[in-house]
Amino acid sequence: MKSNYNNEMLKRSYAKYLKEAGRLLESTIRFNLTTLSKYDGFSRNEDYAKFNKDKAVEFKKYIKTNGDDGI
């Protein structure tokens, strides 16, 4: 599956923000990025600009039905 360039740039920016401004542990940052990667798989790398509340609900259902509640 081909990655989405814009999404990858957003993820890099988000990771940098979490590291510098968020003052979070590295494990928390990895957890957040892993969750985004799982969403990428679910959405087949659809552009994050198309994300909305309906897609959030669909992703939550997907996670629950695939036995990954702990993301």
Helix extents (H) in 1-71 = 5-20, 26-43, 53-65
Q: Which domain holds residue 53?
A: 5-65
pLDDT tens column, 18-44: 988 877 889 999 999 999 999 999 999
What's the structural domain count of the chain?
A: 1
When pLDDT is averaged across residues 1-26 and rounded to a whole number, the result is 89
Q: What is the pLDDT of residue 40?
A: 95
With pLDDT > 70 as the criterion, what percentage of the chain qualifies? 92
Does 33 map to a domain? yes
pLDDT of 67 above 80: no
pLDDT of 70 above 90: no
CB 57 within 8 A of CB 37: no
Q: What is the pLDDT of residue 1?
A: 67
One-letter amino acid for residue 52 of the chain: N
Cα–Cα distances (Å) from 42 to 13, 26, 33, 37, 49, in that order, read 21, 24, 14, 9, 15
Does 71 map to a domain? no
One-letter amino acid for residue 71 of the chain: I
